[in-house]
A and B are shown apart, each in its own frame.
Chain A
Amino acid sequence: MSSSVDDQNSTVYHIERGSQGTLMKISDFNLWYGKSQALFSVNMEIERGLVTALIGPSGCGKSTLLRSINRMNDLIDGLTIKGKMTIDDQDIYSSVVDVIALRKVMGMVFQKPNPFPMSIADNVTYPLKVDGVRDRRILNETVEKALKGAALWEEVKDRLKENALGLSGGQQQRLCIARAIAGDPEVLLMDEPCSALDPVATAKIEDLIDALRGKYSIVIVTHNMQQAARVSDNTAFMYLGKLIEYGETSIIFTNPKVDKTMEYVTGRFG
């Protein structure tokens, strides 16, 4: 509790290293929406197989950073990027990278559950449909595996042909997780996956994240600090587009090294 935040480009690091090594490296990453800069020189490493939480007050750039990882920001007009982001030492923003192939190694779960207006089974097999898989046997196996993986199988196994929009909000979000893992990705990106859900559904999702730990590298954006504390291994605290502190979750929440982090996690502002 000694470093000062006034020092513009200093991030304090004390991250927990996973057993499987580093998956992603983000170095000196800057991002502008038109003229206004949203991310300032972010440097961080994401560990393979661990859960990394991004926290910070609204507008701090955590969602922007998350959506930069699978290039969802490409849809926005007037976006400028400077810096480097690599996954398995491959540059995500290199001109030779196929965005579609890139997104296939990264499943994404959004703030609001967004199942497609089709049957539960078709929702889960959508990533396979995109790849042109037509084999019934493979599709059926995937449906069962992904729904079991998302802890939804028992609830929906008898109505796989029903419209997914008939599910409850929490079930819809778990269906979206099933959809995200059906394509067998390496990374799961979660953008405030529980913000539209009630506490019971939230608890189920959190249990699910815990169960998925190790199988996938998970990056989760959350507003809920208890949630970050409960599910993540590493936590990154962002403020006004800058990465302030990035380290072991237990330290961030109990004994952060930066005053600003302390103020945020204890609820003084945000």
Chain B
Amino acid sequence: MEFNEPGKGQQILADTDGNVITQASTSRQRSTVWDFKARGEPFVWSLGAALAIGVLMIVGFVALILYNGILTFYPRPIEVVELRGGDRIAGDLIRSETFLPGTDNVADPDSSAKTIIDNKGLSKRSLLRTGNFDLYNDDFKWVFDDEIVSKHFPKDILFIERLEWGPFIGSAKSMDLNGQIIEGANLSTDGLEKAQDEARSRRLRIYEIERTEIASINHYLEKARLALRKVELRHGLESPEYKAELEKYKAETETLNAQYQELASEAAAIKQMDSRFTVNLEDVNGKPKTLPISQITRLFTPNNLSFTERAWVYLSRWYEFLTQEPREANTEGGVMPAIFGTFCMTVLMALGVAPFGVVAALYLKEYAKQGKLVSLIRICVNNLAGVPSIVYGVFGLGFFAYVLGGSIDQLFYPERLPTPTFGSGGLLWASLTLALLTVPVVIVATEEALAAVPQSMREGSLACGASKWQTIKWIVLPRALPGIMTGLILAMARGAEEVAPLMLVGVVKLAPELPIDSFFPFVHFERSFMHLGFHIFDLGFQSRNSEAAIPMVYVTTLLLITLVFAMNIASIIIRNRLKRKFFTGHF
């Protein structure tokens, strides 16, 4: 194809005198067909495809977590299934699947055969959450479709969440309120709820006595014992100081024990009273169950709920999840201690990693003479980021807990030994271990940020007669701050979701106390704590009932991701504010 447009096929040139001369193109013919290779078209497509796959995986993962996590607490209808043998099963549908039936799955070979053949040898089964673990030793049941005679959704069936044994599904027959029997038509769901409200206040009072008041007496008893032990260690058993202290100790423990007796008897009285309020329940097969009303945490009729009632159940379940302590080997109740532990640990870690990382990077970049040694250190720092996190856990346990913590115990808490105070895993050691794990990220990001500060600004400051330190303090660091924040965000995201090293340095399945409470010194860095990441592991792989744990795994994962997301968003907002301040104008 010949192209005769001037300027394309021909070249217009001007000689030194300015006369335009036209030269016939002697070069090769130019192709006007698209050259895909030259335009890099296949390359662009593969880039797009790679991005699409990445985005798809992330979106898919987040959608899975969101879908399952958000739906978990929604009250589902209860179906009552009548089986061929006359048994009934009540429960909410978890999922259905097709499977290859064996002979033992087929109740009546003759009639079932046709349907199974129609389905190409496959049959269908559904998993129901039946609850009533105390009655049947099972709270999930597979129901085979061809065993089912009939299926219906009774309006009055009750779903009762309890403190123990998981949910109860069935109906209420009568209620015993301290001898006053209510049954038949007089027994309504509203009446039950009212009785439950009263019972809850009794339960909370018992909880308060046992967990707050008696716990505080125990705290003071322990304190008195430690004071005595301290005197013993300092002056010996035979010394007059010890004898005087012993007298004091005896007097103190006597009053405390008297208080304890008083509280214990108050609790016993309330418990005695509480046991007179019971409800008689019956499951769909007529099996009876008597339950103290105070054991009930929530009850509703799932097949007869208006939209607002449904929403109320849903929200109250979330509220319980976010604010309560876990029960039943963590498969029920809430995760408040884990949220609190994760948050405290992440904040402490950020506080630990930020100064170390920034100071190290400042020295490396600004002061150290750039040579082989500095390069070597830089390589080591980068390699540190690739060390398996469990190795950090072992190091944290060995160095922080045993060596550092052990020494602190010897020096400051000798009276508590052999019980370790700082000498075992705890919040402080876990935070420091994670700080160590994430410090390479902060160092690398800070070095990059420092390198990105324009040389002209440093020169401008130096030319004003500022020293190097003043220049760093007033010009370089503020300008590098957004970049440093980015490093810190990455470090926080990495640290908050790390589990493996934590299992060695202070995370436990169930922490009896929060790291912050009302006893001096209020913040207890030495205490072990709960962590959402470990909670997920524990629920998913260590719990008795894996089927019951699945929804909790999703909800906890959702919560952990949300928490990390929220912390990141907060830091990003701070960073963007800084950026706006430093990066506007003409350059």
Interface positions of A (Cβ within 8 A of B) = 70, 72, 75, 77, 100-101, 103-104, 106-108, 110, 112-117, 126-127, 129-131, 163-169, 172, 176, 179-180, 183, 189
B478 within 8 A of A: yes
Question: Taking each of A108, A112, A116, which has the highest tally of chain B beta carbons within 10 Å of its own beta carbon?
Answer: A116
State A167–B585 Cα separation when bound (angstroms).
7
**CB contact under 8 A between A72 and B585, given known A114-B454, A116-B457, A117-B479:** no
> Among the listed B464, B475, B478, B585, which residue makes an inter-chain contact with A127, where contact means beta carbons less than 8 Å apart?
B464
Q: How near does chain A come to B165, taking the closest CB pair, in angstroms? A: 64
- Which residues of chain A come closer than 8 Å to B478, judged between CB atoms? 117
Q: Which chain B residues numbered 541 to 587 have a C-beta less than 8 Å away from chain A?
A: 581-587
B462 within 8 A of A: yes
Q: Are B581 and A163 in contact (CB under 8 A)?
A: yes
Q: Are B463 and A117 in contact (CB under 8 A)?
A: no
> Among the listed A70, A100, A168, which residue makes an inter-chain contact with B467, where contact means beta carbons less than 8 Å apart?
A100
> Among the listed A117, A127, A176, which residue makes an inter-chain contact with B465, where contact means beta carbons less than 8 Å apart?
A127
- Which residues of chain B come closer than 8 Å to A129, judged between CB atoms? 474
B513 within 8 A of A: no
Q: Are B464 and A165 in contact (CB under 8 A)?
A: no
- Which residues of chain B come closer than 8 Å to A101, judged between CB atoms? 465
- Which residues of chain A come closer than 8 Å to B465, judged between CB atoms? 100-101, 103-104, 127, 130-131, 183
Closest residue to B585 on the A side, CB-wise? A165
- Which residues of chain B come closer than 8 Å to A167, judged between CB atoms? 585-586
Q: Which chain B residues numbered 427 to 442 have a C-beta less than 8 Å away from chain A?
A: none
Q: Which chain B residues numbered 499 to 520 have a C-beta less than 8 Å away from chain A?
A: none
Q: Are B585 and A172 in contact (CB under 8 A)?
A: yes
**CB contact under 8 A between A166 and B459, given known A126-B464, A130-B465, A131-B465:** no
Q: List 19 A-B contacts (CB under 8 A).
A: A103-B462, A104-B464, A108-B460, A112-B456, A116-B475, A117-B582, A126-B474, A127-B465, A129-B474, A130-B465, A130-B467, A130-B470, A163-B581, A165-B586, A166-B585, A172-B585, A172-B586, A180-B464, A183-B465
Q: Are A103 and B464 in contact (CB under 8 A)?
A: yes
Q: How near does chain A come to B478, taking the closest CB pair, in angstroms? A: 7
- Which residues of chain B come closer than 8 Å to A126, judged between CB atoms? 461, 464, 466, 474
- Which residues of chain A come closer than 8 Å to B462, judged between CB atoms? 72, 75, 103
- Which residues of chain A come closer than 8 Å to B479, judged between CB atoms? 117
In order of increasing CB-CB distance, the 5 nearest A-B pairs are A165-B585, A104-B465, A108-B463, A114-B456, A117-B582
Q: Which chain B residues numbered 353 to 404 have a C-beta less than 8 Å away from chain A?
A: 370
Q: Are A165 and B456 in contact (CB under 8 A)?
A: no
Q: How near does chain B come to A50, taking the closest CB pair, in angstroms? A: 21
B-side interface size class? 20 to 34
Q: Are A114 and B457 in contact (CB under 8 A)?
A: yes
State A130–B475 Cα separation when bound (angstroms).
12
Closest residue to B580 on the A side, CB-wise? A163
> Among the listed A72, A77, A164, A165, which residue makes an inter-chain contact with B463, where contact means beta carbons less than 8 Å apart?
A72
Q: Are A176 and B460 in contact (CB under 8 A)?
A: yes
Question: Taking each of B456, B462, B467, which has the highest tally of chain A beta carbons within 10 Å of its own beta carbon?
Answer: B462
- Which residues of chain B come closer than 8 Å to A169, judged between CB atoms? 586
> Among the listed B463, B583, B584, B586, which residue makes an inter-chain contact with A70, where contact means beta carbons less than 8 Å apart?
B463
- Which residues of chain B come closer than 8 Å to A103, judged between CB atoms? 462-465
> Among the listed A110, A112, A130, A163, which residue makes an inter-chain contact with B466, where contact means beta carbons less than 8 Å apart?
A130
> Among the listed A72, A168, A176, A183, which residue makes an inter-chain contact with B586, where contact means beta carbons less than 8 Å apart?
A168
State A63–B435 Cα separation when bound (angstroms).
46
Closest residue to A109 on the B side, CB-wise? B463
Q: How near does chain B come to A247, taking the closest CB pair, in angstroms? A: 28
Q: Are A130 and B464 in contact (CB under 8 A)?
A: yes
Q: Which chain B residues numbered 311 to 353 have a C-beta less than 8 Å away from chain A?
A: none
Q: Are B584 and A163 in contact (CB under 8 A)?
A: yes
Q: How near does chain A come to B475, taking the closest CB pair, in angstroms? A: 6
Q: How near does chain A come to B517, taking the closest CB pair, in angstroms? A: 44
State A166–B583 Cα separation when bound (angstroms).
10
State A222–B259 Cα separation when bound (angstroms).
90
Question: Taking each of B463, B467, B582, which has the highest tally of chain A beta carbons within 10 Å of its own beta carbon?
Answer: B463
> Among the listed A106, A108, A164, A179, which residue makes an inter-chain contact with B585, where contact means beta carbons less than 8 Å apart?
A164
- Which residues of chain B come closer than 8 Å to A168, judged between CB atoms? 586
Q: Are B459 and A72 in contact (CB under 8 A)?
A: yes
State A72–B466 Cα separation when bound (angstroms).
12
Q: Are B456 and A110 in contact (CB under 8 A)?
A: yes
State A72–B459 Cα separation when bound (angstroms).
8
Closest residue to B454 on the A side, CB-wise? A114
Closest residue to A163 on the B side, CB-wise? B584
State A180–B465 Cα separation when bound (angstroms).
10
- Which residues of chain B come closer than 8 Å to A163, judged between CB atoms? 581, 584-585
Q: How near does chain A come to B483, taking the closest CB pair, in angstroms? A: 14
State A122–B586 Cα separation when bound (angstroms).
18
Q: Are B584 and A116 in contact (CB under 8 A)?
A: no
State A123–B460 Cα separation when bound (angstroms).
11
State A127–B456 Cα separation when bound (angstroms).
16
Known: A130-B467, A131-B465. 5 other contacts (CB 8 A): A108-B459, A110-B459, A165-B582, A166-B584, A168-B586
